[in-house]
Amino acid sequence: MAQTALEPACSIIARRLNHTKEEYTVALDETKADRSYLFGRLIAVADQMERATFSRDEMGSRTTNAMRYMEIFSSRPASTWMTLQKKLLPYQQKREMYGGKERKLISMIGSMFNDEDFLSDRPLDGRFLLGYYCQQYAMEQEREENRKKKEMATEEDV
């Protein structure tokens, strides 16, 4: 999803939550332990992990498992996450050669849940999308920064 779509989506959700006197910003909050927000972050990382293994040809034509399961995930997150975890294994193995960044991020996010929240299949609220979009945006920004660093390093070598 393009950066231009992510910022407005995060802003709309954050504005709605701010209106109900809850404090939210558009930036990723890595300390927020809200159940819905954390599940949103998890599915964003799962989507990125799988997408990172796609060839250029597959980029526009393949849908990730995370996106296929997005609707059911919002209704039954715990059981759907177990299904997604199994489907992520081959992609996780492919990404390990690049340092396993997504696996480590999933572990870190997972460690922020309390047991009952992680195991509960009760539906997620709007914070789910906020966590998803903010995590996606943060990963997109990181990719862009890394791309620029590589370009600068290449220019310096020339």
Question: For 98, what's the count of Cα atoms within 13 Å in the CB-facing half-sphere?
Answer: 11
> Does residue 54 lie within any of the structural domains?
yes
Indicate if the pLDDT at residue 85 is higher than 70. yes
| 68 occurs within a structural domain | yes
Work out the mean pLDDT of the chain and round it to a whole number.
Answer: 88
Does 80 fall in a domain? yes
* C-alpha–C-alpha distance, residues 118 and 35, integer Å: 7
CB 75 within 8 A of CB 123: yes
What whole-number distance in Å separates Cα of residue 63 and Cα of residue 50? 9
Domain that holds residue 50: 35-137
* Residue 24, domain member (yes or no): no
Query: 88 in a domain, yes or no?
Result: yes
Q: How far apart are CA 103 and CA 91, in angstroms?
A: 10
Rg (alpha carbons) of the chain, rounded to whole number: 16
Q: Cα–Cα distance between 72 and 81 in angstroms, integer?
A: 10
User: For residue range 29-48, what is the model confidence (pLDDT) as tens digits?
Assistant: 999 999 999 999 999 999 99
Q: How far apart are CA 1 and CA 7, in angstroms?
A: 11
More confident residue, 143 or 22: 143
Q: What is the pTM of this model?
A: 0.81
In a domain, 96, yes or no: yes
- pLDDT-derived band at 56 (thresholds 50, 70, 90) equals confident
Instruction: Tell me the per-residue pLDDT of 60-71, one tens digit each, with 9 for 90 and over.
Output: 889 999 999 999
pLDDT tens-digit series, residues 92-136? 999 998 889 999 999 999 999 999 999 999 999 999 999 999 999
Q: HEC string of 125-147? A: CCHHHHHHHHHHHHHHHHHHHHH
Total structural domains within the chain: 1
Residue type, 116: E
